[in-house]
């Protein structure tokens, strides 16, 4: 009789852990999707300046992610390593997101300075603490890869629900409340309160495994320099950052550019809610089949093949958009979200695999610094995409006061809408190709076993 594998999580805990991810998405994706629209069309600010400041703020993020990753690895608390930081950051994260939409209606540099301060606080301080702690938590509440994959799938279903609420409900809610600046502030406050509540629910309903069960014994704390040396020695850490950056840029650009493509080229801003809302639903089949694909192909092949498929479909969207009626384009646009759903779920095993590689290499646990790659990648990627959208709008001479944009503006928007995702997914294929953690772990384990066998023979 086969021994039943140990279970670390109850079924309902998959949902409470996933709720934390959805909570962060409620504010992060709200800002990513709508902040430039809010500041340009409702506040009259310069999109190029806002986009550029977003990108500059991300430079601080790269530094704070590494610093906080080191702090997290050295942390000692009766509640665990990651949970205390989720408790500490949940409420400030939401407050800073809400205050971003209270940018003063003043001339000169005042609104830009105000935005930069709260945007940097949100991303470089509070989101860093919440997101990095949450990602680390997934490695500390279970030792089971299958449970981690299930956590990833359930988490993404809840993220899908959060994104549906954001993309499908925001514009309608704002219009229902009068389509004013005050309406935007009311809506972001609702999402902010809900986001904080979900993060607190996540941290309050799970416990981290004891150190002896995770294999992390009490030991002398690593020096900062030594921690960075261990991470830098991991050949997969760099590619892990690149994958997260490119995926964040590609997915955020798809969403942000779709907003303006609907407004400028399709002349219907409300179509954005339909396309993105239905598109998110099309990700569900991908989420469902992802565990099966990963089990049969392995995470590496699954990610490479799926990225190629997304790239091919994106290229096919170009001639489809030129056909009358727009039906072929919309079908391909939606179908593309199925493999995007696969990618979203199949990324889950990469972080723990990269962390395990560093542990086998060095004998030290540096999960916090390893998982900082996800936070660094997401925030740099979202900053690049936001800056990119601002620069695109400036380059194509977008006029928010005009009902119909010029032909040159429409052409420029179409080039950006199709060209940027094509470039991003091409880079993504290259990054995934170099991120074969499974093969690296297998090779390293054999090498370590060989060294142990040699030592045993010498001691005999």
pLDDT at 144 over 90: no
pLDDT at 112 over 90: yes
**How far is Cα 195 from Cα 186, in angstroms, rounded to an integer?**
14
CB 255 within 8 A of CB 32: yes
**How far is Cα 153 from Cα 311, in angstroms, rounded to an integer?**
23
CB 377 within 8 A of CB 242: yes
For the record, the structure tokens of 140 come out as 């500390």
Write down the pLDDT at residue 223.
64
At residue 405, the 3 state secondary structure works out as coil
- Give 266's contacts (C-beta < 8 A, 6+ positions apart): 326
pLDDT single digits (tens) 20-49 = 899 999 998 899 889 988 998 899 999 889
Write down the pLDDT at residue 3.
47
**How far is Cα 284 from Cα 351, in angstroms, rounded to an integer?**
22
DSSP summary character for residue 325: T
In a domain, 217, yes or no: no
Q: How many domains is the chain built from? A: 1
CB 306 within 8 A of CB 339: yes
Write down the pLDDT at residue 10.
79
**The domain containing residue 146 runs over which residues?**
11-209+223-453
pLDDT at 354 over 70: yes
Write down the pLDDT at residue 75.
63
pLDDT at 224 over 70: no
Write down the pLDDT at residue 459.
64
For the record, the structure tokens of 65 come out as 């992610």
Write down the pLDDT at residue 280.
80
Q: DSSP per residue over 409-425, as a string?
A: HHHHHHHHHHHHHHHHH
CA atoms within 13 A on the CB side of 28: 26
The stretches of 363-406 forming alpha helices (DSSP H) are 367-395
For the record, the structure tokens of 38 come out as 């809010």
CB 337 within 8 A of CB 280: yes
More confident site: 212 or 14: 14
In a domain, 335, yes or no: yes
The stretches of 75-180 forming alpha helices (DSSP H) are 83-100, 110-120, 128-140, 145-176
Picking from 346, 347, 133, the residue whose alpha carbon sits closest to that of residue 240 is: 347
**How far is Cα 13 from Cα 331, in angstroms, rounded to an integer?**
36
In a domain, 6, yes or no: no
Overall average pLDDT of the 123-136 stretch: 86
Picking from 295, 207, 152, 288, the residue whose alpha carbon sits closest to that of residue 9 is: 207
> Residues, the chain, total?
460
In a domain, 22, yes or no: yes
Write down the pLDDT at residue 95.
96
CATH code where residue 280 lies: 1.20.1250.20
More confident site: 288 or 198: 198
- Give 338's contacts (C-beta < 8 A, 6+ positions apart): 282, 283, 285, 286
In a domain, 353, yes or no: yes
Across all residues in the chain, what is the average pLDDT? 83
Picking from 131, 405, 86, the residue whose alpha carbon sits closest to that of residue 260 is: 405
In a domain, 79, yes or no: yes
CB 153 within 8 A of CB 16: no
pLDDT at 136 over 90: no
Overall average pLDDT of the 333-344 stretch: 86
**How far is Cα 133 from Cα 203, in angstroms, rounded to an integer?**
10
Overall average pLDDT of the 327-355 stretch: 83
In a domain, 193, yes or no: yes
Write down the pLDDT at residue 309.
93
Write down the pLDDT at residue 219.
46
pTM above 0.85, yes or no: no
**How far is Cα 435 from Cα 382, in angstroms, rounded to an integer?**
21
In a domain, 125, yes or no: yes
CB 47 within 8 A of CB 394: yes
The pLDDT confidence band at residue 2, using thresholds 50, 70 and 90, is: very low
């Amino acid at each position: 009789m086969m021994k039943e594998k140990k279970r670390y999580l109850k079924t309902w805990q998959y949902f409470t852990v996933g709720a934390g991810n959805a909570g962060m998405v409620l504010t992060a994706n709200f800002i990513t999707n709508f902040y430039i629209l809010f500041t340009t069309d409702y506040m009259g600010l310069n999109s190029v300046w806002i986009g550029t400041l977003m990108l500059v703020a991300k430079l601080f993020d790269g530094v704070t992610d590494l610093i906080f990753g080191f702090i997290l690895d050295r942390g000692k608390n009766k509640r665990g390593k990651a949970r205390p930081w989720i408790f500490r950051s949940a409420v400030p994260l939401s407050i800073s997101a809400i205050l971003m939409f209270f940018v003063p209606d003043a001339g000169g540099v005042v609104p830009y300075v105000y935005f930069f301060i709260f945007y940097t606080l949100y991303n470089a301080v509070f989101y860093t603490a919440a997101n990095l702690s949450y990602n680390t938590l997934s490695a500390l509440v279970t030792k089971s890869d299958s449970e981690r994959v299930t956590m990833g799938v359930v988490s993404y279903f809840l993220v899908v629900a959060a994104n549906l609420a954001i993309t499908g409900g925001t514009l309608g809610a704002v219009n229902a409340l009068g389509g004013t600046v005050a309406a935007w502030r009311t809506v972001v406050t609702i999402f902010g309160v809900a986001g904080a509540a979900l993060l607190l629910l996540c941290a309050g309903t799970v416990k981290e495994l004891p150190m002896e069960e995770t294999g992390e014994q009490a030991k002398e704390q690593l020096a900062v320099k030594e921690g960075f040396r261990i991470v830098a020695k991991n050949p997969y850490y760099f590619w892990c950052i690149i994958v997260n950056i490119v995926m964040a840029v590609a997915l955020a650009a798809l969403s942000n550019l779709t907003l303006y493509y609907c407004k400028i080229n399709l002349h219907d801003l409300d179509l954005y809610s339909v396309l993105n809302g239905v598109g998110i639903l099309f990700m569900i089949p991908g989420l469902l089949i992802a565990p099966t694909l990963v089990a049969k192909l392995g995470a590496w092949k699954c990610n490479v093949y799926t990225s190629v498929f997304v790239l091919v479909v994106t290229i096919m969207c170009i001639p489809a958009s030129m056909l009358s009626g727009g039906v072929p384009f919309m079908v391909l646009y939606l179908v593309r979200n199925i493999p995007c759903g696969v990618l979203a779920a199949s990324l889950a095993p990469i972080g723990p695999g990269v962390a395990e590689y560093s542990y086998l290499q060095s004998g030290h646990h540096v999960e916090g610094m390893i998982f900082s790659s996800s936070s660094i990648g997401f925030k740099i990627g979202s900053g690049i995409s936001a800056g990119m959208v601002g620069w695109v709008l400036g380059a194509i001479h977008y006029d928010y006061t005009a009902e119909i944009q010029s032909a040159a503006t429409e052409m420029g928007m179409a080039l950006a809408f199709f060209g940027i995702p094509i470039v991003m997914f091409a880079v993504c294929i290259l990054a995934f190709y170099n991120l074969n953690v499974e093969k690296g772990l297998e090779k390293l384990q054999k090498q370590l076993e060989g060294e142990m066998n040699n030592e045993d023979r010498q001691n005999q």
